[in-house]
Amino acid sequence: MLNLSVKTRLKPEDALAKIEEYFVQKVGLTLVEGAAHLHAKTGFAEVRVSGGKIVGKEEYDSRDVLFETIETMQKEYGFTLIYYLFHIHTSPSESIGHLVITVSNDTPAEINFQSEELDYQVKEFAEMIPKS
C-alpha cells in the first residue's frame, strides 16, 4: 500500500480534472464514488455520489451532481468545503486495484493518495503535476 501526499499549484477543481483525465480517461480506471467533506459552525457533512451517470427523472453526470450539491450547501446552509474525495477501482475483469484520492480545498491544494496495487500510476501522476 502506498500513501503519498503532494502539494500542487493547481486549484482544487483543476486538480480534480487532472485526476479524472489521468486515472479514468488515460489509465482506464473506474470512478466508483465522488465525495465532499464540509464543515459548518458546529458539525460537518459528507456528500457522497456514485461515479458515472446517475439516472433519475433524467440522466445526470455524477460530478455535476456533486458540485451542485456542494454549491447549494455552501450558499443555502453556510457550509465550508474542506476536501474532495475520489474513490477509484480497476475494472472487475482486471487485477484488483483500489485508489482513494483526497484533494484539499486550499491554495495550494494538497493531494493525498492511498493506493493498493496502483502505486506506479500514482507515482507517475504525482511526477506530472505542477508542485507548489
Sequence-ordered list of residues with C-beta below 8 angstroms from that of 46, at least 6 positions apart, any chain: 35, 36, 37, 38
Q: What is the mean pLDDT of the chain?
A: 92
Poorest-pLDDT segment among 48-62, 67-81, 83-97: 83-97
Phi, psi torsion values for 26, nearest 5 degrees: -80, -50
- Residues 93-103 have a mean pLDDT of 83
- Residues 107-120 have a mean pLDDT of 92
Q: So where are the chain's domains?
A: 8-128
Give pLDDT tens digits for 20-72: 999 999 998 999 999 999 999 999 999 999 988 888 888 999 989 999 999 99
Amino acid at 98: H
- Residues 90-105 have a mean pLDDT of 82
